[in-house]
Amino acid sequence: MIAVVKPYEKMNLKQLKEAEDDFDEEDLKAVETYSIPMCTLVNTHLSLLAIKFPETKFVKAIAKSCIENYHDNCLPTIFVYKDGKIEGKLIGVVEFGGTAITVEGFVVSDLEWKLAEFGAIKTDLEENPRKGIKDMMMSSLRKASIDDN
């Protein structure tokens, strides 16, 4: 079975609601809203994850066509749903690694880990691929705090 990222970019909220019939209630869904170039990398990663995890339905939409007055500073955005309830959300560049959202700075495994934490996918990753980065950041913050005292 091949997973397909369905393009719903021309649909408004009402049309998206009607398209929900394409999904069973128990289906996992990762919905990405996009409209700015920064979202291209996240979209590429989600396309790869859709192939790797065909049991999860990945959907993309133009943000302003499905969420009225949605601000570009909230992009990229991913909403994760299960059984019709929101299980998690990633909103804004900071959630995706800040301005370091490049091929080198934010890799597919980073997004895979985040989606697995929300229960959207069952990953074979054994630990957070960014764990070492977070540990160094926390260490730097602790050191800065001690130096301030």
2-145: CATH homologous superfamily?
Glutaredoxin (3.40.30.10)
Each residue's pLDDT tens digit, 46-76: 999 999 999 999 988 878 788 888 888 898 8
Q: What is the pLDDT of residue 62?
A: 79
Please give the backbone phi and psi of residue 35, each rounded to the nearest 5 degrees, phi first: -165, -10
Q: What digits encode the pLDDT tens for the residues 89-145?
A: 999 888 887 765 554 566 789 899 999 999 999 999 999 887 765 444 444 545 555
Residues 75-98 pLDDT 10s = 889 999 988 899 999 998 888 877
Please state whether 126 falls in left (phi above 0), alpha (psi between -120 and 50) or beta.
alpha
Alpha carbon distances (Å) from 7 to 4, 60, 67? 9, 6, 16
For 79, the enclosing helix (H) or strand (E) is strand 77-82
